[in-house]
Structure 1
């Protein structure tokens, strides 16, 4: 699985009254989960939303981005106390918290749930028939990295497959959807395969071509309605015939 680059920020704001000026400081830590000891720490000063001076742990000093920032950086670089404090923040704030983040959050994993269903395909095959579309939807997994593939009779399918990117749900979980367009063949076995860090082995979900329970219920309800309609129609016809037999015809002059 590929590594991830994450960042955490600590923001201090100083807001002045209307028509005043805005000044704030930003602590930022960027790290790769494979090696938090290489985390990059930056400490920046902003004035009117423009960064004018920054400490960078990779450079080990302050750098300025405006005329005032250049003078400020030069002064702080000559101040051993200020420089030592920011270097200490690299370990105390950035790498320490990156380690806690990795241990407490990034090392955790949540197993995905899989829903495999049939959808309608708008394209037409060379034989003139509309091929079928199978959708493998994978929900509520963490971390983000995941692999979804398809098997036909145990062999990996490499064509007619489209997949979305991993989509964030906004609650630390992700979802992804993979579609397979194919022409059904009698006796074949189609499977969706999910590989994820939370799983000891690939999660294989086989496609069951039988009608889903929801569809069976719809058919059952429709059939029941049809039978009931026929019974009511027959009862009405019998009632009408009986009434017709008991009716007395009066000749007209």
Structure 2
């Protein structure tokens, strides 16, 4: 064993960690009604003593080495009324708060948002991949479809993905469509959700090519300059005094 004066000496204290806490829960059915009520004294994550609501008494629920201690503890808790009253108070709170919790969570309606993002592909027949991102909606059931010039089209080579949770009680999904757009085409992502009075419509149209965009910009500048010179010329002409006659 190293001595305290040695540089390699390391003192490691022997500390044991034990935790006893009270845990209560009330599982809910699909319609929000309370299915059951659980109340227990837990020792290091293991239920030690459990409360039986129908009998209004505590029983040992540990079947391991701690069962003798759990039996004694249950008898102590049943000897008075304080812990039974505490458990019943939580049971009433569970019954009273469950409807409000259910209405503010499972029954709420959050409308979705949508955005279309386009990207180039190497496919010569369908050069553009449209991705409709839909997010922020609740509940998870949502229907997403595509329109091409007002007509319903299929999802193409990429089927829609299922809705996945965002971690904040909302969901997201996306649907893709490979297209070969031409001038004048309009594509729309249609989102149907229980929170919407009417379907959400997000539209996309093909933009001009870079070369054509430059030509249009130059033509616009020339047209504005020509119109400016014309206005100035008319103003100067009308402002000249008449010739003596």
User: Which position in structure 1 is the counterpart of 2:207?
Assistant: 210
Distance 2:16 2:111 in 1: 52
Query: Which deviations, in whole Å up to 9, do the C-alpha atoms of 1:213-238 show, x marking residues without a partner?
Result: xx98xx66xx88xxxxxxxxxxxxxx
Distance 1:150 1:45 in 2: 52
Of the three residues 29, 39, 42, the one matched with 2:38 is 42
**Aligned: 1:149 with 2:144:** yes
> Which 5+ residue runs of structure 2 have no aligned equivalent?
1-14, 219-245
1:1-253 aligned at under 5 Å gives the runs: 18-32=15-29, 34-55=30-51, 62=59, 64-67=61-64, 68-69=66-67, 72=70, 76=74, 79=78, 86=87, 89-90=90-91, 92-121=92-121, 124=123, 129-141=125-137, 143-152=138-147, 153-155=150-152, 157=154, 159-160=156-157, 161-163=159-161, 165-168=163-166, 170-184=167-181, 190-211=187-208
What SS does the aligned partner of 1:97 have? helix
Query: Which deviations, in whole Å up to 9, do the C-alpha atoms of 1:146-173 show, x marking residues without a partner?
Result: 41422344335255323253231x5544
Normalising by structure 1, we get a TM-score of: 0.57
Distance 2:52 2:184 in 1: 63
Query: Which deviations, in whole Å up to 9, do the C-alpha atoms of 1:35-66 show, x marking residues without a partner?
Result: 22234322232212333343476998856133
| CA-atom RMSD in angstroms | 4.1
Distance 2:133 2:54 in 1: 42
Matched length: 193
Preserved contact between residue 110 and residue 139 of structure 2 (Cα < 8 Å): no
Distance 1:69 1:45 in 2: 13
Distance 2:27 2:201 in 1: 36
Shift of 1:195: 2.0
Q: 1:131 to 1:83 in 2, by over 3 A?
A: farther
Larger Rg: 2
Q: 1:74 to 1:194 in 2, by over 3 A?
A: farther
Query: Which deviations, in whole Å up to 9, do the C-alpha atoms of 1:59-78 show, x marking residues without a partner?
Result: 98856133434874698599
Normalising by structure 2, we get a TM-score of: 0.58
What SS does the aligned partner of 1:206 have? strand
Q: 1:115 to 1:19 in 2, by over 3 A?
A: same
Distance 1:205 1:181 in 2: 16
What SS does the aligned partner of 1:111 have? coil
Q: 1:189 to 1:150 in 2, by over 3 A?
A: farther
> Which 5+ residue runs of structure 1 have no aligned equivalent?
1-17, 225-253
